[in-house]
């Protein structure tokens, strides 16, 4: 009798603990997002600026451009498609701010930062890939934006705001 009661109590404790974790997770994550989200993002932005400067020093300017003819050479001996991508999403706090802001309309600064970072990062990756694969320059660069990997069941569309940036161009050497 006594033993059974004890095992029942343990089970109850376990169930309470699971319920507590589930209830506590979302507010904790939200507060974490509010306090430390900007820290994670600004750290990544600083790294990106350092990488941009390093590549600019190596290539002496920029090795990607959107023209359809190469600048530094007349004829290419080999050409190939170079592409790279990134998937970004705003943090929970930025989504929350954006949702509030979208009631009144106007510029949504919290999304601005995320999208600007995504575009700059994807172009930087293209530059680094060009250096790594030995292309002299990349011509006809295009950046495409798509919203994939979202839930498309009714009302759930793009709930977490995931965006994919794709940058591609023709590498020549």
Partner 1 sequence: MEIMTSNTETIPGFRITKSLGVATGSTVRAKHIGKDILAGLKNIVGGELKAYTELLMEARTEALGRMMLDAAQRGGNAVVNVRFATSSVAGGAAELFAYGTAVIVEQE
Q: What residues line the site for partner 1 (CB under 8 A)?
A: 29-30, 32-33, 36-37, 40-41, 44, 68-70, 73-81, 83-92, 94, 114, 117-118, 121, 139-140, 142, 144, 146-153, 160, 162, 164, 166, 168-170, 172
- Least distance between partner 1 and beta carbon 142 (Å): 7
Closer to partner 1 by Cβ: residue 13 or 40: 40
- Least distance between partner 1 and beta carbon 62 (Å): 18
Cβ 164 vs Cβ 85: under 8 Å: yes
Among residues 76, 64, 87, 52, the alpha carbon closest in space to that of 169 is found at 64
Cβ 164 vs Cβ 87: under 8 Å: yes
Closer to partner 1 by Cβ: residue 59 or 140: 140
Among residues 98, 145, 81, 137, the alpha carbon closest in space to that of 118 is found at 145
Cβ 167 vs Cβ 125: under 8 Å: yes
- Least distance between partner 1 and beta carbon 11 (Å): 26
Closer to partner 1 by Cβ: residue 55 or 76: 76
- Least distance between partner 1 and beta carbon 158 (Å): 10
- Give me the phi and psi of 12, to 5 degrees please: -60, -45
């Amino acid at each position: 009798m006594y033993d059974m009661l004890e095992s029942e109590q343990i089970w109850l404790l376990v169930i309470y603990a699971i319920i507590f974790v589930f209830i506590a997770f979302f507010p904790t994550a939200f507060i974490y997002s509010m306090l430390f989200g900007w820290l994670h993002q600004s750290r990544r932005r600083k790294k990106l600026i350092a990488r941009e400067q390093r590549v600019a020093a190596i290539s002496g300017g920029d090795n990607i451009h959107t023209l359809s003819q190469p600048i530094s050479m007349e004829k290419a001996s080999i050409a190939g498609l170079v592409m790279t991508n990134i998937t970004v999403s705003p943090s929970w706090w930025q989504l929350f701010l954006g949702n509030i802001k979208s009631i009144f309309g106007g510029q949504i600064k919290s999304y601005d930062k995320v999208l600007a970072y995504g575009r700059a990062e994807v172009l930087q990756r293209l530059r680094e890939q060009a250096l790594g694969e030995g292309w002299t320059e990349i011509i006809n660069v295009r950046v495409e934006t798509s919203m994939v990997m979202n839930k498309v069941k009714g009302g759930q569309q793009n709930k977490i705001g995931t965006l994919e940036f794709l940058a591609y161009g023709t590498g020549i050497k």
